[in-house]
Amino acid sequence: MLTPSEPRVHTLDLRGVPCPLNLVKAKLAIESIGVGDVLEIELDEGEPIQNLPASLGRQGQEIIGTRKRENHFCVTVRRKL
């Protein structure tokens, strides 16, 4: 029986990378993974967490969730296109 392959989970640490360079790097990482795959992005609080998920969403990617870690956030994105 054929089963669809599980989406692969990739990670990207963008802590310490300022806006808008973090968005540029997130875009490049998303380009490099397969459609349907998931990218977990570690992000600083403040501007990065305020801007980046919304920007990726506007570009058509799916934001699955945002989790608060100790001093930062982890955003999970699925590549849609």
Q: Which of 41, 3, 1, 2 is nearest to 22 (CA)?
A: 41
Report the nearest approach of another protein to the CB of residue 6 (Å).
Answer: 25
* 4 binds another protein, rule: CB under 8 A: no
* 31 binds another protein, rule: CB under 8 A: yes
* 54 binds another protein, rule: CB under 8 A: no
* 21 binds another protein, rule: CB under 8 A: yes
User: How is 13-34 classified by DSSP, letter by letter?
Assistant: E-TTPPTTHHHHHHHHHHHHSP
* 34 binds another protein, rule: CB under 8 A: no
Centre a 10 Å sphere on the Cβ of residue 40 and count the other Cβ atoms it contains: 16
User: Rounded to an integer, what distance in angstroms lies between the CA atom of residue 13 and that of residue 46?
Assistant: 16
Among 25, 51, 66, 74, binds another protein (CB under 8 A): 25
Helix (H, G, I), strand (E, B) or coil at 8: coil
Residues at the contact surface with another protein, assessed by CB under 8 A = 20-21, 23-25, 27-28, 31-32, 59-60
